[in-house]
Amino acid sequence: MKKLLVSTLLLLSCKAVFAGNDHVPVGARAAALSNASVGISDVWSLHNNVAGIAQLEKTELGAFAENRFGLKAFSTVALLGAMKIGQSGGIGAELYRFGDKIYNEQRLGIGYAHKIGQVRLGLKADLLQVHVEEFGSKRLIAFSFGGQSEVMPGLVVGAHIYNFNQAKMAEFADERVPTVMKAGISYRPGKKVMLNAETEKDLELDADFKAGLEYQVIEKLALRTGFSTLKQTASFGVGFAAQRFQIDYALSSQSRLGFSNHVSVGYKFE
């Protein structure tokens, strides 16, 4: 009965579902910061703001799993890899899946970023497949563009636009994959503290303001929290570094729908 209800809601409001899930940042670190992550540079930047992978110094892999509101139909898994090329470039690939057998979205993404002085620019292409049981599948390509700049020591300004080509889902009602724009800052007043603030705007929705705080308790342990105004969420998380591994967990709460769990594991090669 739960699956039937979820399926019906998805079919009746496909555009709303895309807006709710399309290009939600990945990685438990970002989730703990309520996804205020446009100014961060790590392996998850390949999805969150591709410009960030130009800052990587080592090859990194990341695996991410998320369950929203205790429903299997709202589960996400992702596998990412990114590496430095040359002196100032970065390249990466991503596999992503959201949903269950009734409704799901799958992506294969490839991104490249380049650093020029204090400015980082990146471009990513996603082959997106949307499948609805009994209705079949639709494939299309969505392009993303992002930028970051360290305007002063410790202060990074970032911006990102997903699906700037406005890929069309269907001729009926001119249905398109949502175009999502975001811009924000990441400020590090010291080695132990990071403050993030970000505004996100889907062309079909109101703007969302997000903010997050990360505190490095000790070298290998970080605590995080954040909030989002439009989605009315609060989030909390912890990160632990163990040799070449980075393990992160986040718990987020939506005022009406309940709790969501997020976990990610990253690995850095020598």
- Ramachandran angles phi, psi of 56, nearest 5°: -70, 140
pLDDT digits (tens, 9 = 90+) for 110-166: 999 999 999 999 999 999 998 888 778 889 999 999 999 999 999 999 999 999 999
Please name every residue paired with 6 in a beta bridge, in sequence order, or none if there are none: none
Q: Name which residue leads in pLDDT, 177 or 95.
A: 95
pLDDT class of 67 with cuts at 50, 70, 90: very high
pLDDT of residue 114: 96
Residue 182 to residues 72, 173, 174, 249: CA-CA distances in angstroms? 28, 26, 24, 24
Q: What is the mean pLDDT of residues 190-202?
A: 95
pLDDT at 7 over 70: no
Indicate the fold that domain 2-268 takes in CATH: Porin (2.40.160)
pLDDT digits (tens, 9 = 90+) for 181-195: 999 999 999 999 999
Beta strands in 174-232 (DSSP E): 175-176, 180-187, 193-202, 207-218, 221-228
pLDDT at 10 over 50: no
- pTM for this entry: 0.87
pLDDT of residue 137: 85
pLDDT of residue 4: 41
Q: What is the mean pLDDT of residues 212-222?
A: 95
Residue reference for tokens 């961060």: 40
pLDDT at 41 over 60: yes
Q: Name which residue leads in pLDDT, 9 or 173.
A: 173
Q: Name which residue leads in pLDDT, 67 or 176.
A: 67
Residue reference for tokens 């970065």: 90
Q: Write out the DSSP string of 47-104.
A: HH-GGGGGG--S-EEEEEEEEETT-GGGEEEEEEEEEEETTTEEEEEEEEEEE-SSEE
Query: 248 is written with which tokens?
Result: 């992160």
Spell out the alpha helix ranges (H) of the chain: 2-12, 14-21, 28-32, 45-48
Rounded Cα–Cα distance for residues 270 and 161 (Å): 32
pLDDT class of 22 with cuts at 50, 70, 90: low
Rounded Cα–Cα distance for residues 229 and 10 (Å): 24
Mean residue pLDDT of the chain comes to 89
pLDDT class of 24 with cuts at 50, 70, 90: confident
